[in-house]
Amino acid sequence: MPYVAQKEQFQDQYLQASVITAPPGRLLLMLYDGAINFLSRAVDAIKRKDYEEANQLIVRVQDIIAELVSTLDMKYEVAHSLSQLYDYFNRRLIEANIKKDSVPAAEVEGYLRELREVWAKVIATVGAGEAAPPNTPGMEV
């Protein structure tokens, strides 16, 4: 097996092991990291006029957003707000993909970065043993 293929195989195995063993808060951050990474690359692809790559990357971000939506616990008000926000993200990504416009994609990327930072702080606070926000058993959103 060539070195590059072997390296990619090991990276895939490491990522799978990381996902399987990660606590819920870390998984949430991994989803945000993936979405931000793919969206940053999609913005660059649009600017380069590589619309096929941009489309593939935007679809991957939409898949991650769908996963984020599926984890929401709708008995909490914040989950309803996040659901609406994720819906807005999807609409902007569809617009970016159809119009081949990096502006809506960059907008969503900025929001994802902000949300990731907020979640990182919440997870660090809860993980450090400080009081969790009301109604957050197990970090459900």
Question: Residue 5 and residue 129: Cα distance in Å, rounded?
Answer: 42
pTM of the model: 0.78
Residue 13 one-letter amino acid: Q
Q: Which residues contact 120 (CB under 8 A, 6 or more apart)?
A: 29
Q: Which fold has domain 22-125?
A: Four Helix Bundle (Hemerythrin (Met), subunit A) (1.20.120)
Encoded tokens for 121 = 């702080």
According to the model, what pLDDT value does residue 8 have?
A: 63
Going from N- to C-terminal start, the domains of the chain cover: 22-125
Average pLDDT, consecutive stretches of 10 residues, N- to C-terminus, the chain (141 residues) = 62 52 84 98 98 98 97 94 97 98 98 97 78 47 50
Question: Residue 135 and residue 123: Cα distance in Å, rounded?
Answer: 14
According to the model, what pLDDT value does residue 18 have?
A: 53
Encoded tokens for 34 = 């993936």
According to the model, what pLDDT value does residue 46 have?
A: 98
